[in-house]
């Protein structure tokens, strides 16, 4: 409890913790300063507009349009039928941690399932745990922008100071030592990496990763590497910063089952790092979540054991859509970097948007053609002038959406 309580309200929104409203005019429940300082999610705001229409083709969905593979669902059902409804170990079941340890060897990662892996309630929890475990009040946390919407609020909730690091369309959203120096990351405490990237789809190649790793070692940075889209890499292999010399001991790697296995609603992720890192995160985890959902852990184990073919099939389908969407975006005159992973394209609309404003562009596109694409500004200031297009939707809808976009651009 600290600071002045906000009493002005100043919004027509209903009290809504998720949207960041202040909880009521003059209410005792005016949020703490660190909560009040976080603006409502740009995605949430846009979602509310999109929800008011029933003819919308949404390209704003950041989750697979597939259903979790049957073996995973079946294992979840079976675990319930067998009455496996109690807590698991704080760190997750031994079987799942072992399976995770075996799985991540394909990315060149090696972690001890007993001490170096923590199963969490979605990768989102793992990200939050990392911030809360390692960020002291006043610490600087560097966030390449544009990036996933939850990092900046997470840093603020932990009392840290976000430091944006601009990446640029012209450079295919590459993160380089120069961009890190320019942003002052050499003085920062933590660097968050999200590759393949949401929202740009950018990946890092081996040389780029080497260079960033060198920078992190030289400037003694702790790294939080969110690799939730690792399995959805299309060109080349997924590169993890934790595999670079001297990086394993300063990196927490985060991954999960939501994107690759279409298991978003089962909320299961994991964090990997040196024993002391996982111990610190486990301490926070055990006082909040205790353990990740038991049912979901059984589903995840089955997913690792028996769903490789399903994942490959989904990856191939995303790849096909990726090529289509990028091709069409370029045909209709929008400049877009080739996304190497995830399921997003992040075209530039600055030249065709009113005053270069991505939000205005997205709003007009929604109004005129019923196509919902998320304004790039939802992903930080580095996203201005762009929109995020998710191709986690069927090709027929993508074709129709691209046709509407083409018409919109021709008429505007």
**Which residues make up the interface to other proteins (CB under 8 A)?**
41, 43-44, 46-47, 50-51, 56, 58, 60-63, 65, 148-150, 198, 316-317, 319-321, 323-324, 327-328, 372, 374, 393, 395-396, 399
Structural contact between residues 382 and 149, judged by C-beta atoms closer than 8 angstroms: no
Report, in Å, the least distance between residue 375 CB and other proteins: 10
Query: What's the rounded Cα separation, in Å, for the pair 168 and 172?
Result: 6
Nearer to other proteins, 88 or 258 (CB): 258
Nearer to other proteins, 104 or 129 (CB): 129
Report, in Å, the least distance between residue 266 CB and other proteins: 14
Nearer to other proteins, 58 or 93 (CB): 58
Residue with tokens 């038991």: 294
Query: What's the rounded Cα separation, in Å, for the pair 335 and 339?
Result: 12
Nearer to other proteins, 51 or 276 (CB): 51
Report, in Å, the least distance between residue 101 CB and other proteins: 28
In the three-class reduction of DSSP (H, G, I as helix; E, B as strand; rest coil), residue 177 is classed as helix
Structural contact between residues 146 and 201, judged by C-beta atoms closer than 8 angstroms: no
Report, in Å, the least distance between residue 130 CB and other proteins: 17
Nearer to other proteins, 208 or 324 (CB): 324
Query: What's the rounded Cα separation, in Å, for the pair 249 and 276?
Result: 10
Structural contact between residues 159 and 140, judged by C-beta atoms closer than 8 angstroms: no
Report, in Å, the least distance between residue 153 CB and other proteins: 11
Nearer to other proteins, 41 or 74 (CB): 41
Nearer to other proteins, 90 or 324 (CB): 324
Please tell me whether the peptide bond between 40 and the residue prior to it is cis, using omega within 30 degrees of 0: no
Distance of CA 384 to the CA centre of its chain: 18
Query: What's the rounded Cα separation, in Å, for the pair 315 and 286?
Result: 34
Nearer to other proteins, 46 or 157 (CB): 46
Report, in Å, the least distance between residue 320 CB and other proteins: 5
Beta-bridge mates of residue 356: none
Nearer to other proteins, 25 or 323 (CB): 323
Nearer to other proteins, 305 or 397 (CB): 397
Q: Which long-range contacts (CB under 8 A, 24 or more apart) does 90-93 make?
A: 90/118, 90/282, 90/285, 90/286, 90/290, 90/291, 91/117, 91/118, 91/119, 91/278, 91/282, 91/291, 92/117, 92/118, 92/119, 92/270, 92/291, 92/292, 92/297, 93/119, 93/294, 93/297, 93/301
Please tell me whether the peptide bond between 332 and the residue prior to it is cis, using omega within 30 degrees of 0: no
Report, in Å, the least distance between residue 321 CB and other proteins: 8
Structural contact between residues 306 and 71, judged by C-beta atoms closer than 8 angstroms: yes
Report, in Å, the least distance between residue 136 CB and other proteins: 26
Compute the residue count for the chain. 412
Report, in Å, the least distance between residue 207 CB and other proteins: 24
Residue with tokens 């993890």: 240
Query: What's the rounded Cα separation, in Å, for the pair 322 and 110?
Result: 31
Report, in Å, the least distance between residue 106 CB and other proteins: 19
In the three-class reduction of DSSP (H, G, I as helix; E, B as strand; rest coil), residue 153 is classed as helix
String of DSSP letters for 338-382:
---BTTEE--B-TTTSGGG-HHHHHHHHHHHH-EE-EEGGGG-GG
Nearer to other proteins, 25 or 316 (CB): 316
Q: Which residues contact 94 (CB under 8 A, 6 or more apart)?
A: 113, 114
Report, in Å, the least distance between residue 87 CB and other proteins: 28
């Amino acid at each position: 409890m600290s600071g002045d309580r906000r009493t002005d309200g100043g919004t027509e929104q209903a009290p809504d913790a998720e949207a960041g409203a202040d909880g009521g005019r003059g209410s005792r429940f005016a949020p703490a300063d660190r909560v009040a300082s976080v603006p409502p999610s740009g995605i949430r705001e846009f979602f509310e507009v999109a929800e008011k229409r029933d003819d919308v083709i949404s390209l704003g969905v950041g989750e697979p349009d597939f259903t979790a593979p049957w073996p995973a669902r079946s294992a979840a059902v079976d675990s319930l039928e067998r009455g496996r409804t109690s807590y698991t170990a704080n760190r997750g079941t031994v079987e799942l941690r072992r399976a995770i340890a075996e799985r991540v060897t394909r990315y060149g990662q090696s972690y001890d399932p007993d001490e170096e892996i923590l199963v969490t309630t979605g990768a989102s929890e793992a990200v939050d745990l990392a911030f809360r475990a390692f960020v002291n009040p006043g610490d600087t946390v560097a966030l390449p922008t544009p990036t996933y919407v939850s990092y900046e609020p997470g840093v603020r909730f932990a009392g840290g100071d976000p430091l944006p690091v601009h990446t640029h369309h012209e450079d295919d959203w590459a993160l380089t030592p120069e961009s890190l120096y320019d942003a002052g990351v050499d003085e920062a405490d933590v660097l968050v990496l999200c590759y393949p990237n949401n929202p740009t789809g950018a990946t890092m190649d081996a040389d780029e990763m080497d260079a960033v790793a060198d920078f992190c070692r030289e400037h003694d940075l702790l790294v939080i590497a969110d690799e939730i889209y690792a399995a959805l890499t299309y060109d080349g292999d997924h590169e993890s910063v934790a595999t670079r010399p001297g990086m394993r001991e300063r990196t927490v790697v985060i991954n999960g089952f939501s994107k690759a296995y279409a298991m978003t609603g089962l909320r299961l992720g994991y964090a990997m790092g040196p024993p002391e890192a996982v111990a610190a995160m486990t301490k926070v985890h055990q006082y909040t979540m205790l353990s990740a959902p038991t049912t979901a852990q059984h589903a995840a184990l089955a997913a690792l054991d028996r769903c490789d073919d399903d994942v490959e099939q989904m990856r191939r389908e995303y790849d096909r859509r990726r090529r289509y969407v990028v091709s069409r975006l370029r045909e209709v005159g929008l400049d877009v970097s080739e996304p190497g992973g995830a399921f997003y394209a992040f075209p530039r609309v600055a030249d065709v948007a009113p005053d270069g404003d991505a939000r205005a562009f997205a709003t007009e596109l929604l109004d005129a053609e019923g196509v919902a694409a998320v304004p790039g500004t939802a992903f930080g200031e580095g996203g201005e002038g762009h929109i995020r297009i998710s191709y986690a939707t069927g090709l027929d809808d993508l074709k129709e959406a691209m046709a509407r976009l083409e018409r919109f651009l021709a008429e505007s």
